[in-house]
């Protein structure tokens, strides 16, 4: 089979074919894992040529398996180019370190994943890059913080773990009016849920560790956007010089995971919707947050921006005083009684996960088990309160 033209291919086809190459040496149909630190040459002249042509010399600088993944990820988001990193945090740090200069200001969401929040507070302030944290649900608050030296607007949508949905198109307009780079961490809503670049974002970040790999067995991160921005990140590039490069084996696992991305994400979303609806009807539950529920304040944006798919995370609070228990005591009892759920942090993998958040909220990362089994497990766990 010659390499096929994917320009008119549908999303699920691209996730199988983009970046895929049949091994030209042994004709292996499955892509080989180029699990090597370095690349060897017959002559010094050949090595010089590889250096001049930006060929493969050393895996931290470039590797065929890793490049295949970058091509598939660019196709996934409809971006010109992609840089992958050793984890999602590698992608966040790499992007900001590459694009910011001393004296710049970043306007970031108050609702960022707490490790990104720590990174901005601890590292960037030290480098004379100021960061203002605002509520990206309030456009006037964002507008009010943009200054002459603001170069970047940064937010996640849906936000982790509160699940509020930020309007990407609205923020893109504001960003363009102020000459800023709009960066969206879309880890909670990977394609086919949302496509931030098509809504005007300049750069999309993903923790590949979650839905995109989908099997909970590899860390990875990605930054996707225009060639102009990705070239700044690639060279003089941070994954190379900070050592945040992705291993070829992880790149291969993620490439394999992506072949089933569309069907997995669709199932995570439909099962999460069933679970959210069940929880809304449960008398012990005070409140459920899930963007695709009509009761969610951002349901209108979810319909527009997320193909009406709410993602795989469902958050909820139990009522205070169930059998005289505090909310936290009841949270612990419920979590400990689940059987199908694992008590673990993360999301987007085949196994369903449950955890207690700081504000006594319970967060479910719905897996790929049958949704009736997931709901039955919750029902048997709730029976502890009977």
Ligand X SMILES: Cc1ncc(COP(=O)(O)O)c(C=O)c1O
Q: Helices 261-280 and 371-382, interaxial angle, to 10°?
A: 30
Does residue number 87 form part of the binding site for ligand X (CB under 6 A)? yes
Does residue number 209 form part of the binding site for ligand X (CB under 6 A)? yes
Q: How far is the CB of 221 from ligand X (least distance, A)?
A: 6
- One of 81, 187, 213, 299 touching ligand X (CB under 6 A): 187
Does residue number 85 form part of the binding site for ligand X (CB under 6 A)? no
Stretch 257-296: interaction string toward ligand X, x if CB under 6 A: ----------------------------------------
Which parts of 197-260 fold into alpha helices (H)? 227-234, 238-242, 248-258
Structure tokens at 332: 């612990």
Segment contacting ligand X by CB under 6 A, of 73-81, 84-92, 293-301, 316-324: 84-92
Segment contacting ligand X by CB under 6 A, of 83-91, 173-181, 257-265, 312-320: 83-91
Does residue number 156 form part of the binding site for ligand X (CB under 6 A)? yes
CB-hemisphere CA count at 13 Å for 257?
25
Q: How far is the CB of 298 from ligand X (least distance, A)?
A: 17
Does residue number 95 form part of the binding site for ligand X (CB under 6 A)? no
User: Count residues contacting ligand X (CB under 6 A)?
Assistant: 14
CB-neighbour burial class of residue 238 (10 A; exposed 0-12, middle 13-18, buried 19+): buried
DSSP SS3 for 30: coil
Q: How far from 309 is each of 14, 97, 188, 189, 337, CA to CA, in Å?
A: 21, 33, 11, 9, 29
Q: How far is the CB of 209 from ligand X (least distance, A)?
A: 4
Instruction: Name the residue nearer to ligand X (CB basis): 159 or 262.
Output: 159
CB-hemisphere CA count at 13 Å for 86?
14
- One of 207, 299, 338, 355 touching ligand X (CB under 6 A): 207
Does residue number 315 form part of the binding site for ligand X (CB under 6 A)? no
171's CB contacts (< 8 A; 6+ apart) are 136, 139, 142, 153, 155, 182, 200, 201
Residues making contact with ligand X (CB under 6 A): 87-89, 92, 113, 156, 160, 185, 187-188, 207, 209, 219, 221
């Amino acid at each position: 089979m010659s390499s096929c033209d994917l320009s008119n291919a549908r999303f699920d086809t691209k996730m199988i074919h983009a970046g895929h190459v049949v091994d030209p040496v042994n004709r292996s149909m499955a892509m080989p894992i180029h699990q090597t630190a370095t690349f060897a040459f017959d002559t010094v002249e050949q090595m010089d040529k590889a250096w001049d042509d930006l060929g493969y010399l050393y895996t931290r600088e470039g590797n065929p398996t890793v490049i295949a993944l970058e091509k598939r990820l660019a196709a996934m988001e409809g971006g010109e180019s992609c840089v992958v990193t050793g984890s999602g945090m590698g992608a966040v740090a790499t992007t900001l370190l590459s694009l910011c200069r001393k004296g710049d200001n970043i306007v970031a969401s108050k609702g960022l994943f707490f490790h990104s929040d720590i990174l901005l507070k601890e590292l960037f302030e030290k480098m004379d890059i100021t960061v203002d944290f605002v509520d990206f649900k309030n456009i006037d608050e964002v507008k009010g913080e943009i200054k002459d030296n603001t170069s970047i607007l940064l937010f996640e949508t849906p936000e982790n773990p509160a699940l509020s949905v930020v309007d990407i198109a609205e923020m893109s307009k504001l960003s363009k009016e102020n000459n800023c780079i709009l960066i969206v961490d879309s880890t909670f809503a990977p394609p086919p849920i949302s496509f931030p670049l098509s809504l005007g974002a300049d750069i999309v970040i993903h923790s590949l560790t979650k839905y995109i790999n989908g099997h909970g067995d590899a860390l990875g991160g990605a930054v996707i956007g225009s060639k102009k921005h990705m070239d700044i990140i690639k060279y003089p590039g941070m994954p190379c010089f900070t050592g945040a490069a992705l291993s070829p084996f992880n790149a291969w696992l993620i490439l394999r995971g992506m072949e089933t991305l569309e069907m997995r994400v669709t199932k995570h979303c439909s099962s999460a919707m069933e679970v959210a609806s069940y929880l809304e009807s449960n008398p012990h539950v005070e409140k459920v947050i899930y963007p695709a529920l009509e009761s969610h304040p951002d349901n209108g944006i979810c319909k527009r921006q997320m193909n009406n798919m709410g993602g795989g995370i469902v958050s909820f609070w139990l009522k205070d005083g169930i059998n005289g228990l505090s909310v936290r005591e009841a949270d612990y009892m419920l979590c400990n009684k689940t059987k199908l759920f694992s008590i673990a942090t993360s999301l987007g993998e085949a196994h369903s996960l449950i955890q207690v958040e700081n504000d006594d909220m319970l967060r479910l990362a719905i897996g790929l088990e049958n949704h009736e089994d997931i709901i039955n497990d919750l029902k048997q766990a709730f029976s502890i309160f009977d």
